[in-house]
Amino acid sequence: MPNSLAYLMLLIWPVVMFVMFRRMPAHKALVWSLLGAYLFLPPAPTAFDFPLLPPFNKDSIPNLMVLVICLAMFGRGVLTLPDSRVGKLLIAMFVLGPVVTVLTNSEPIPFQAAPALPGLRITDAIALAINQATLLFPVLLARSLLATPKEHRDLLMILMICGLVYTIPMLIEVRLSPILNLKVYGFFQHSFAQAVRFGGYRPVVFLNHGLWVAFFAMTTAMAALALWRADRGERRSVYVLAAGYLVLVLVLCKSLGALVFAVALTPLIFFTSQRIQIAIAFVVALLALSYPVLKNTDLMPTQFLLQQAGKVSEERRGSLYFRFYNEDLLLERANEKPLFGWGSWGRNHLHNPVNGEIKTVTDGRWIITFGVFGWIGFIAEFGLLTLPLILLWRVSRVMPPGDMSPYVGSIALILAINVLDLLPNATLTPLTWLLAGALLGYVEKQYHNLPEVIRKRAPWQPIM
């Protein structure tokens, strides 16, 4: 169980955030406060749980406080809805869809020798709607505060610095085993067995799982490469050295998926043009959006992927097979209520009909969202994450290359890879929403700066 320090950290973080916003430019304070909370505050189950409200934890407290601080300092203009009509619709679906989910899941799920899993109540609708709205605050604030090339550079710079700082606890855990959360906050947040890899340990630090740590290391390494690509000054050597060091630490994280992403992204950031980077990010976004359809129609090449994983090791093949097996079971369950899903409290799982024990494991964010909130929830969440990539691709086709931010292609690739990683894993973090908001704000500004004659005949006009 979490110790007193864990709860104290949640209580004092709003004060830390307030100091940041008083002493830094707003866009830097936004990134530092959300990333700092994600990296250093205690993970679940540390939370303050009040009736009718979602849990107040390391995700919700910073999101709420950043909204309060920004509204107090800058007024209501800092929090506005997207210009895109599709964006507004997706937000409405994201926040209000769970209310319908609750209304369509009032029936209990009975078991033979255990208490029934209760149906959802109107209080659950209130809590879910508040929680969904809270998740959106970073993307809406980033849309206002992180929409220019200078702000994109600062975002990547903060990412690189955070990555370099985080390598210290990461390397400690690589050497000694994942002990920091246990020593500092009094509990271990996951199965220790999953931290043992290839005769050593992979770090977990204060995140949910070692996969999260590896993905963060990969992201920060790509941020350093993006700075190297765009910079023409004396710091280029510093950036490339930082990227090399972060990749080395990533290798020590012993996570094949994140390492494959790094190998794929590095030549794209090094050698390809902005337009090619944006086009690849767009294709990856379409793949992520179409994944449930491909799974439902058995068009995913699962056997081929299993064969490739087997070439790495039988352990990797077994892990991937376990994911696909559970994904198929959960998808079959989700298809019983495809539109709005089963709701929370584990109703999206398969249960032992006698004792109610959960028989399935959810790994990917997509199957969690699809099972809990159905097609409406999946389209809303993944639509909001991929909409900036789709709009950016459309706008980039008519923009002069010299007018584009030198960082936007790399940010698009990082966001696209994060969305792709939401298929096997649940690595949806505040950083994901910040990246989406930064791109959305940028592309909307660029759209409005286009000559009117181009805007009127542009193929994306209905989506805007």
pLDDT 10s digits, 213-260 = 999 999 999 999 999 999 877 788 899 999 999 999 999 999 989 999
Question: What are the backbone dihedrals phi and psi of residue 48, each rounded to the nearest 5 degrees, phi first?
Answer: -100, 120
pLDDT at position 4 over 90: yes
- Residue 315's pLDDT band (cuts 50, 70, 90): confident
Q: How far apart are CA 184 and CA 193, in angstroms?
A: 20
Q: Which of 387-391, 434-438, 440-444, 449-453 has the lowest mean pLDDT?
A: 449-453
Q: How far apart are CA 344 and CA 43, in angstroms?
A: 20
Q: What is the pLDDT of residues 375-385, one digit of tens each?
A: 999 999 999 99
pLDDT at position 459 over 50: no
Check residues 51 and 208 and name the one with the higher pLDDT: 208
pLDDT at position 460 over 70: no
All residues at 6 or more sequence positions from 198 whose CB lies less than 8 Å from its CB, including other chains: 254
**Percentage of the chain lying above the pLDDT 90 cut:** 70
Mean pLDDT over residues 387-402, rounded?
A: 86
- Residue 62's pLDDT band (cuts 50, 70, 90): very high
- Residue 458's pLDDT band (cuts 50, 70, 90): low
Q: Say what the pLDDT of residue 198 is.
A: 73
pLDDT at position 299 over 90: no
Per-range mean pLDDT, top range of 333-342, 350-359, 391-400, 454-463 = 333-342
Q: Say what the pLDDT of residue 377 is.
A: 96
Mean pLDDT over residues 391-411, rounded?
A: 86
Q: Say what the pLDDT of residue 464 is.
A: 54
Check residues 152 and 362 and name the one with the higher pLDDT: 152
Strand ranges in 323-436 using DSSP code E only, listed in sequence order: none
Q: Say what the pLDDT of residue 463 is.
A: 54
Please give the DSSP secondary-structure letter assigned to residue 71: H
Per-range mean pLDDT, top range of 74-78, 106-110, 415-419 = 415-419
The DSSP element (H or E) to which 201 belongs, if any, is: strand 200-201
Q: How many CB atoms lie within 10 A of CB 271?
A: 9
Copy the structure tokens of residue 114. 């255990």
Check residues 305 and 107 and name the one with the higher pLDDT: 107
Mean pLDDT over residues 314-319, rounded?
A: 81
Q: Say what the pLDDT of residue 462 is.
A: 46
Q: What is the pLDDT of residues 122-174, one digit of tens each?
A: 989 999 999 999 999 999 999 999 999 999 999 999 999 999 999 999 999 99
Q: For 243-248, which contacts have Cβ atoms below 8 Å and span 24 or more sequence positions? A: 245/164, 245/167, 246/160, 246/163, 246/164, 246/167, 246/217, 246/220, 246/221, 247/221
Residue 45, preceding peptide bond in cis (omega within 30° of 0)? yes
Q: Say what the pLDDT of residue 456 is.
A: 56
Q: How far apart are CA 34 and CA 430, in angstroms?
A: 7
Encode burial over 184-213: b for 16+ CB neighbours within 10 A, e otherwise: bbebebbeeeebeeeeebbbbbbbbbbbbb
Query: With contact defined as beta carbons under 8 Å apart, do 249 and 167 qualify?
Result: yes
Copy the structure tokens of residue 84. 């895109």
Q: Which of 62-66, 68-72, 346-350, 456-460 has the lowest mean pLDDT?
A: 456-460
Helix (H, G, I), strand (E, B) or coil at 108: coil
All residues at 6 or more sequence positions from 334 whose CB lies less than 8 Å from its CB, including other chains: 341, 342, 348, 367, 370, 371, 374
Q: Say what the pLDDT of residue 286 is.
A: 95
Q: Say what the pLDDT of residue 454 is.
A: 55
Q: Which of 203-212, 409-418, 445-454 has the lowest mean pLDDT?
A: 445-454
Check residues 49 and 372 and name the one with the higher pLDDT: 372
pLDDT at position 449 over 80: no
- Residue 191's pLDDT band (cuts 50, 70, 90): confident
- pTM, rounded to two decimals: 0.94
- 267: left (phi > 0), else alpha (psi -120 to 50), else beta? alpha
Sequence length of the chain is 464
Q: Say what the pLDDT of residue 171 is.
A: 96
Q: What is the DSSP string of 232-291?
A: -STTHHHHHHHHHHHHHHHHHTT-HHHHHHHHHHHHHHHHS-HHHHHHHHHHHHHHHHHH
Q: How far apart are CA 381 and CA 245, in angstroms?
A: 34
Q: How far apart are CA 32 and CA 26, in angstroms?
A: 10
pLDDT at position 323 over 90: no
